[in-house]
Amino acid sequence: MVVVAVVVVVVVVTVMAAAAAAAVVVVVVVVVVVVVVVVVVVVVVVVVVVVVVVVVVVVVVVVVVVVVVVVVVVVVVVVVVVVVVVVVVVVVVVVVVVVVVVVVVVVVVVVVVLLLLVSPAFLTVIINVIIVVVVVFHARSGFRCFTNYFILALLCYLIWR
């Protein structure tokens, strides 16, 4: 009976030791599985966050570049249009002024020539008109030296005639 009791005790102790070892193995396996799952979840979350951040950064950079390019293109187009309009206006004004001056000069020369052909006495009238214009110009300008000499020359001419 002692032998049976010893065998029972040995079997029970062996079974309990095996059960304890199995429990330790199960706990170790569970801990390893939990650690692996946690590591996998953390890696997946980190990868997802990195991908989202990279996508957001790329989208923001692309949007900023597109906006900058559009603004630069619009500014360049506006500047080119303004410059072209200003140049066209200046050219038109210069052409109009030149045409008007040429027409006035041609008309004055033709009238003077016709008047001189009709009567040489008109030369005195023309000189008097020039004297009046020069005197008015002299009174309103800073070119006093030039107009003084011009008036003196015209007066000498009239006296000489």
How far is 112 from 105, CA to CA, in rounded Å?
Answer: 10
* SS3 assignment, position 146: helix
| Highest mean pLDDT out of 15-29, 47-61, 116-130, 131-145 | 47-61
Dist CA 72 CA 134 (whole Å): 55
Q: Which residues contact 116 (CB under 8 A, 6 or more apart)?
A: 122, 123, 126
pLDDT tens column, 88-128: 999 999 999 888 888 888 888 888 777 777 776 777 777 77
Question: pLDDT of 32-84, one tens digit each?
Answer: 888 888 888 889 999 999 999 999 999 999 999 999 999 999 999 999 999 99
Tell me which DSSP letter residue 18 carries: H
Identify the band that residue 146 occupies on the pLDDT scale cut at 50, 70 and 90: low
Residue with the bigger pLDDT between 130 and 67: it is: 67
Q: pTM to 2 decimals? A: 0.45
Specify the pLDDT at position 80.
94
Q: How far is CA 35 from CA 22, 23, 31, 72, 152, in A?
A: 20, 18, 6, 55, 115
- Number of Cβ atoms within 10 Å of the Cβ of 112: 13
